[in-house]
A and B are shown apart, each in its own frame.
Chain A
Amino acid sequence: MGNIVIGILQIVIFIALAPAIKGFIHKIKLNLRGQKGPSILQPYKDLIKLFRKEPVISKDASFISKIAPIVVLLATIISASFIPIFSPNTLLSFTGDVIAFMYVLGLSTFFIALYGLDQGSSFGGLGSAREMTIASLAEPTLMMIMFTFSLEYGTSNISEIFVKAHSHSFNVPIAYVFSLLALFFVSMAENARIPFDNPETHLELTMVHEAMILEASGKYLAIFELSSYMKLLLFISIASNIFLPFLYSSNMLLNILFYIIKVIIFSIPIALLELSVAKFRFFRIPDLLMISFALATLGFVLYYV
C-alpha cells in the first residue's frame, strides 16, 4: 500500500514541477539574451488562465478533436508513471519496460498528429507531416540508447535500471558520453526545441509542434501545453536519473531536493544550445538525426565490443 502512495506522490510531484522547469529554461534563455524575462511561475499562470476559457472548436472537426487532447495528456501521464523520480517504487514499476515507454509516448505523438489533420486546414497538415518525419527519424537513436542501457544493467525494466545505477559498485563507462549526447539531440527533436523547431513562434516557416495545435484554444490548449511541459521534464528525468546517478540518499525529502538539482543541471545545456544555434532548415534535420544515430551506435559499439 505504501508503494502505491509513493507512486502517486511521484506523479503528482512530476506534474507539479513540469511547468516550472519550462519557465526556468525560458528565463535563462531570455536573461542570457539581455532581457528580463517573465517569472518562473508564469507557465502556471498561463495554464490557469487557459483552463478558465471556453474552447472554440472548428466546424470541420470531428470527435477526434475532442478525445485527442486528453489521450495525449493521459498517455504522457502513463509514461511518467514508468519513470522513477526519487524512489524506484513507481505506479507501474512492474510493467515499466523501456520499449513500452517508447511506444506509449508514440501513442501521444500519433494522436497529436491526428488532431492537426482533423481541423481541415493546411497548417495542421504541414505540422503533422513534419512532426511525423522528425519523430520517425528520432526513433532508431532512442532504441539504440535503450539497448545500450539494457545491456549495461542486464534488465529492461526502468525501475530496476534505476536501482542498479544507484548502487555503489557500479563503474560508469566513459562511452556514456556518446549516448548522453545522442539522448540530448533526440530530446531536443522530440520536444520541439531549437534546432528542430521553435517553441516560441507561430510562423508557418518554423512551426512543427505549434502548427498541429494551432486550432486548439481554451481548455484543450491548456491540456496540450501541459503535456508538452511534461514531455520535456520526462526526457530530462531519464537523462538525469540514468546519467547522473550520484546524488542519491535514502531519505525521501533529500531525494526530492537532489532530483530538482539534477533537473536544473540538465536544463542549462538545453538553454545554451537554444541560444547558440538558429533553427535549422527542415531538410538539414535528418542529417542531424542521423549524426545522433551515429553517436548512439558509437556509444554502443565502444561499450560492447
Chain B
Amino acid sequence: MNLNISLSEFVEFMAALSLFFAILQTASHRLDFAIKTYTAQSIALSITMFLSVFYYFDYELILSAVLTLLIKGILIPFVMKKITDKIVEDENVKPFVNFTYSVLICIFIVIFSFYITSNTFYCSTDNGTMQKVLAIGLSIIFVGIFLMLARKKALIQIIGFLTLENGIILGATSTVKGLPLIVEIGVFFDVFVGAIMAGILIFHIKDTLESIDTSKLSDLKE
C-alpha cells in the first residue's frame, strides 16, 4: 500500500479538523475547554489557509494565514482567558439543549451543508476539494450559530460568534481564493475590538445581574 497524500487531500483534512474542533466546542462542559478548542480550531484554520497557498498559487493568502494565527490563535484566546479569570464564576456551561443532542444536531448540520453545496460546482480539475471545503466552511458557520442559540452563558455565545467568523473566512478561502487583503485586515480588527468590547460588556452584565446567564437579561424588562 502507498502512503501518497495529495495536497488537496491534506487541505480537506485540515479543514475537517477545524470542523471537528468546532463540534467539540458544542460538547464542552467547561469554559476554558471551549477556549482551548477555539484556539485549536483557529490554528487548524490557519494551517489550511497556509496550505491552500500552494494549491491556489495566490501569495496574499500567506499574510491572511499569519494574521489568523496571530489574532485568532493567540491574541483573542489570551483576551478571553483574562476575562474568564477576572469573572470569578462557576465554570460550567449551562446548556439549553443538552450535550448529546447538540452533537447530534451538529452532525445533521454537516450533512445539511454537504447537501446544499452538492450540485453547485462542476469544477473538474480538483476532485471536489472546493466543494468540500466550502461545505465545511458553511457547517462551521452553522455550528457557530447553533452555539450562540443553545447556550446560556455570554462567554460561550461570544465564542460561537468567533466560530462563525472562522467559518466565513474558510468559505471565502475555498471559493474566491481569499477575500481582498484590505477587507480581511478590516475584519480582523473588527473582530478583535468586538471581542474586547464584549469582554467589557460581560463585566457590566456580571455587575448588574450577578451572573453571565443571558437568559436572565429578560429580568431587565421590569
Let me know if B107 is at the binding interface, CB within 8 A.
Answer: yes
* Chain B residue at smallest Cβ distance from A289: B100
Question: B residues 1-57 with Cβ under 8 Å of A?
Answer: 1-5, 9-10, 12-13, 16, 19-20, 23-24, 27, 29
Given contacts A294-B106, A302-B132, contact A286 B16 (CB under 8 A): no
Assuming the contacts A178-B20, A245-B1, A305-B128, asked whether A287 and B13 have C-beta atoms less than 8 A apart, the reply is no
Q: Which residues of B contact A202 (CB under 8 A)?
A: none
- Among A13-21, A37-45, A165-173, A212-220, the stretch that binds chain B is A165-173
B10: nearest chain-A partner, CB-CB: A174
In the complex, what residues of B have CB within 8 A of residue A295's CB?
Answer: 20
Write out the residue numbers on chain B whose beta carbons fall within 8 Å of the beta carbon of A246.
1, 3
Chain B residue numbers with a CB within 8 Å of A286 are 99-100
User: Is A294 within 8 A of B107, CB to CB?
Assistant: yes
Other-chain residue from A166, A171, A302 in contact with B13 (beta carbon distance below 8 A) = A302
B12 and A302 contacting across the interface, CB-CB below 8 Å? yes
CB distance from A184 to the nearest CB of B (A): 14
Q: Are B13 and A290 in contact (CB under 8 A)?
A: no
Name the CB-closest residue of B to A164: B1
Judged by a CB distance under 8 angstroms, whether B159 is at the interface is no
Tell whether, in the assembled complex, residue B3 and residue A287 are in contact, meaning their CB atoms are under 8 Å apart. no
Query: Is A177's CB under 8 angstroms from B13's CB?
Result: yes
Q: From residue 153 to 191 of chain A, which have CB atoms closer than 8 A to chain B?
A: 165-175, 177-178
Give chain B residues whose Cβ lies under 8 Å from the Cβ of A167: 1
Whether A305 pairs with B132 at a CB distance below 8 angstroms is yes
Q: Interface range on chain B: under 10, 10 to 19, 20 to 34, or 35 or more?
A: 20 to 34
Closest to B118 in A: A305
Does A273 make an interface contact (CB < 8 A)? Answer: no
Tell me which of B1, B3, B107, B128 contacts A297 (CB under 8 A): B107
A196 adjacent to chain B (CB < 8 Å): no
Q: B63 at the A/B interface (Cβ < 8 Å)? A: no
In the bound assembly, the distance between CA atoms of A171 and B13 in angstroms comes to 15
Q: Are B27 and A178 in contact (CB under 8 A)?
A: no
Complex contact B16–A302 (CB within 8 A): yes
A291 in the interface, Cβ–Cβ < 8 Å? yes
> What residue of chain B has the Cβ atom nearest to residue A302's Cβ?
B16
Given contacts A291-B103, A298-B110, A305-B114, are A284 and B29 in contact (CB under 8 A)? yes
- Judged by a CB distance under 8 angstroms, whether B209 is at the interface is no
Across-interface contacts of A175 in B (CB, < 8 A)? 9, 12-13, 16
- Interface residues in A270-305 (C-beta closer than 8 Å to B): 284, 286-287, 290-291, 293-295, 297-298, 301-302, 305
Contact indicator B1/A290 (Cβ below 8 Å): no
How far, in whole Å, are A287 and B102 apart by their CA atoms in the complex? 9
A158 to chain B, nearest CB (A): 17
* A291 proximity list for chain B (CB < 8 A): 23-24, 27, 103
Q: A165, A167, A287 — which one has the most chain B CB atoms within 10 A of its CB?
A: A287
Nearest 6 CB-CB pairings of A with B: A290-B103, A287-B99, A170-B1, A174-B13, A286-B100, A287-B27
A to B CB contacts below 8 Å, 22 in the list: A165-B1, A168-B1, A170-B2, A171-B2, A174-B5, A174-B13, A175-B12, A175-B16, A177-B13, A178-B20, A246-B1, A246-B3, A287-B29, A287-B100, A290-B99, A294-B103, A294-B106, A294-B107, A297-B107, A298-B110, A305-B118, A305-B131
Residues of A near any B CB (own CB < 8 A): 165-175, 177-178, 245-246, 284, 286-287, 290-291, 293-295, 297-298, 301-302, 305
